[in-house]
Each structure stands twice: as C-alpha cells, then as structure tokens.
Amino acid sequence: MIVAERKPLAEILANVQNVNKLLVVGCNTCVAVCLAGGEKEVAVLSSALRIGLRDTNPNIQITQRSIERQCEEEFNAELADDIAAHDVVLSMACGVGVQTLAEQFPTAIVYPALNTTFMGRPEERGVWSERCMGCGNCVLDKFGGVCPVTRCSKSLLNGPCGGSENGKCEVDPKNIDCAWQLIYDRMARIGQLDRLLEIEPAKDWSTSRHGGPRKIVRKDMVL
Amino acid sequence: MNDHRIVLMGCAQSAGAAIQELQDRGQALPDNVEWVRMPCGSSLDELHILRAFESGADRVMVLACYDGACRSVNGNRWAEKRVEAARAILEEVGIAGWRLAFQQVAPTMAADIWQWIADFQALQPPQDATPDAAQGAESEA
C-alpha cells in the first residue's frame, strides 16, 4: 500500500491561514491503514487546525469528509457539492488522490496535508517499511522475493557490498537490514543459492521513472 | 488566582473509583473541573484531548492505572502514548505541553487527586517556556 505521514502543522496552517471555508477530505484506503489520512485523522487534523487558528482566523468553518478512495473519480463525485461550497480543499490522501481531486475539479484549490512517502507494508503496529519502488520490471523471482532494488540502499543487483556487517547495512546499521543478507538467507532456505552465482546484467531503468511519467493502457479494456 | 478550566479524564477503574470516593465523602470537584470517565485508559484518544482544548479547557489531566494494575493489561500505557501524541500536536499549534498532564493513580488515592488538581491549578509556565496561544486567554480569565 501507499504509506504517508502528516505534514508539519505549521506548513498546513500557513496554507489555510486566510481561508473562510475549509473542506478537509480523508481517504479511507491506504492512508487510513497507515493512520495518516483516514476518517479519524481528518477529525484530529480539523480539531488541531481549529485550535491553531483560533487567534488568527477564529471564524474559519471546517467541514470534515472522508471517502473510500480519492484516486478514483467515481468516489470523488460525491464531493462535488461540498467542494463547490468551500474555498479550499485540504486533502489527506496520497499525492495521487490530491492530483485526482485537482484534475477532476479544475477550479478547486486543493492542498495536500500529507507527505506521500513510499509503497510498503506494516511490519508491526505503528511501523511501516518500504518494499517496492515501482521500477516497472520486477526481479523478485530472481532474489527469493526480496527486492534488491528497493531494500538495498545502493539498489545493487549483484551484492552484497562491503558495507554489509552482521546482516545490517552501513547506511543505518540500527534500522536497515542488508537486503543481500536477506536474499542470501532466503535463497538458502528455498534451495536456490546456485541462482546467485549468475551475474545479473545492469538494470534497464527505461521502465522506471527515467522515461518520464508512466502510463499503462489496456487496449482490451478501452472502447 | 484565576480558576483555570481543567478537564480530568481517565480510567473508571482507578481514577473513577477514587473520584467516587471523594464524592461519597461530600467533596465535590471544584466547579472549574470537569471529570470525563472512561471505561479504560485505552479508550482515550488524542481527539478527546484536542476536543477538550478546542472547547475551552485551559489544562487537561489524564489519569490512568499504575503499571501492572490495568485490568486490560496495557490500557494505562496506551493512555500515556495518546497523551504524548496529543501533546506533540498541541505544541505544533502553539499550546504549551505543560498544559497537558498524565498521572498514574490507584482507586485508593482520592486525597492525592484532590491535591493534584490544586497543584495543577496553581501550576505556572516553566521559566523558559515561550508564551503560548492559550496563555493570553488564561490571563484574561
């Protein structure tokens, strides 16, 4: 899922300082699961803004909404009346949701309340970590289901480097596992260590961001 | 001294029992103190604390069980976490962190609660504290 965290309140407050009617919109999918932009976070942020603005903008009207997915226009359609009735929309979705609202409602002023951070998974309660950077050419089949592109700090396809020590990465030995230690252990466990003897050629990054914004078109789904 | 509006919120099993004892003895809480009873410290959410300040509270004290005494095992620890989260948000919007207190309590500590309220009422901003948004409102009270 997409993992995000709330922006510093000072940054959000600066954007809404002179707003009369503010619509705070949450997204009940990814960012709700990572406790950044769901219904509850909308309530917390709205309350914090009312407290933070009570001296400088005490008459601000803040409306709270939350919808299933801001990245799909069908779900956003129900916001049309609310958006028309407010000066500014503060989106608590990921960057995709914010942009979808801005595209769908061309005259609406839409500000982000979150910093979209990565695609990852919850490791334990309150802890999320990155697992995929969307390189467009998945190599998980070759590395036992551990992604060296994302989880190796250097994205090495032929690792490990000299910075691997006791299973940890030199970039942050306390918090980052050496992806290549994880790959080696996993390949040993599934009996595929011999595959690591193959030299992996330099990665073709044309499927990643290096070719500009990407788009997928399924012609069988388009009339 | 101004009567600051104080909201007490906390666990029914410990703080609630102690406050009930105070009331049974005829010691009603001061008029400027509002008691919010929760089934467990784990029921507390930072939104409850924010809403208290939003509604005009000058100070909020959260009362939860001592470690090992929570009937839900870790309810008191979760309450403290929520207090920390709320304090961080409050400080971001200009409300000084000392206005939010967390205190562990047992059902037998009715007299202590009475004293804590008095101490919290009299609490002054730390010398090095920067003036916060609520300070002006308090001095006008």
The tens digit of pLDDT for each residue in B80-102 reads 999 999 999 999 999 999 999 99
pLDDT at B127: 74
Q: Which domains does chain B have, with CATH numbers?
A: 6-135 (3.40.50)
Domain of residue A33: give its range.
2-118
A8 CB neighbours in chain B (<8 A) are: 92
Confidence of residue B139 (pLDDT cuts 50, 70, 90): very low
pLDDT at B138 over 80: no
Q: Which of B52, B21, B47 is nearest to B36 (CA)?
A: B52
pLDDT at B6 over 90: yes
Q: What is the pLDDT of residue B140?
A: 44
Whether residue A65 sits in one domain with residue A32:
yes
Specify if A76 maps to a domain. yes
A6 and A95 together in one domain:
yes
pLDDT of residue B133: 59
- Chain B residue at shortest CA distance from A40: B47
Grade residue B13 by pLDDT with cuts at 50, 70 and 90. Answer: very high
For chain A positions 20-49, those within 8 Å of chain B (CB to CB) are 40, 43-44, 47-49
Regarding whether A105 and A27 lie in a shared domain, the answer is yes
Provide mean pLDDT across the span B46-71: 97
Asked if the structure places residue A37 within a domain, the reply is yes
Residue contact A51–B54, C-beta within 8 A: yes
The verdict on A59 and A102 lying in the same domain is yes
Cβ of residue B88 closer than 8 Å to a chain A Cβ: no
Q: Are residues A103 and A175 in the same domain?
A: no
Last residue of a domain, one of A118, A144, A159: A118
**Structural domain includes residue A34:** yes
Is the predicted pLDDT of residue B136 greater than 60, yes or no?
no
pLDDT attached to residue A210: 82
Q: For residues A41 and A99, state if they share a domain.
A: yes
pLDDT at B114 over 60: yes
**Are A92 and A157 in the same domain?**
no
The answer to pTM > 0.90 is: yes
Please state the domain count of chain A: 2
Query: Number of residue pairs across A and B with CB atoms under 8 Å?
Result: 39
Same domain, A164 and A140: yes
Domain membership flag for residue A16: yes
Quick check: A150 and A131 in contact, CB under 8 A? yes
CATH of the domain at A46: 3.40.50.2300
Q: Which residue has the higher pLDDT, B34 or B139?
A: B34
Q: Where residue B3 falls among pLDDT bands split at 50, 70, 90?
A: confident
Domain annotation covers residue A127: no
pLDDT for B141 equals: 41
In a domain, A217, yes or no: no
Domain edge (last residue) among A53, A83, A118? A118
A141 inside domain? yes
Whether chain B has a CB inside 8 Å of the CB on A13: the answer is: yes
Q: CB–CB of A50 and B54 under 8 A?
A: yes
Rounded average pLDDT per 10-residue block, chain A, 223 residues? 98 97 98 97 98 96 98 98 98 98 98 98 96 97 98 97 97 97 98 97 91 93 95
Which of residues B136 and B54 earns the better pLDDT score?
A: B54
Those residues whose C-beta lies under 8 Å from the C-beta of residue A115, and which sit 6 or more positions away, are A4, A5, A6, A7
Confidence of residue B125 (pLDDT cuts 50, 70, 90): confident
Asked whether residue A91 is domain-assigned, the answer is yes
In a shared domain, residues A8 and A111: yes
Please tell me the predicted confidence (pLDDT) of residue B124. Answer: 87
Of A94, A118, A142, the residue at which a domain comes to its end is: A118
pLDDT score for B25: 93
Q: Do B51 and A13 touch (CB under 8 A)?
A: no
Together in a domain, A83 and A184: no
Output the average pLDDT for chain B: 91
For residue A173, give both structure tokens: 């030995």
Chain A residues within an 8 Å CB radius of B47? 40, 43-44, 47
Same domain, A26 and A72: yes
A93 and A154 share one domain: no
Q: How far is B93 from chain A (nearest CA, A)?
A: 5
Q: Nearest CA to CA, how far is A221 from chain B (Å)?
A: 44
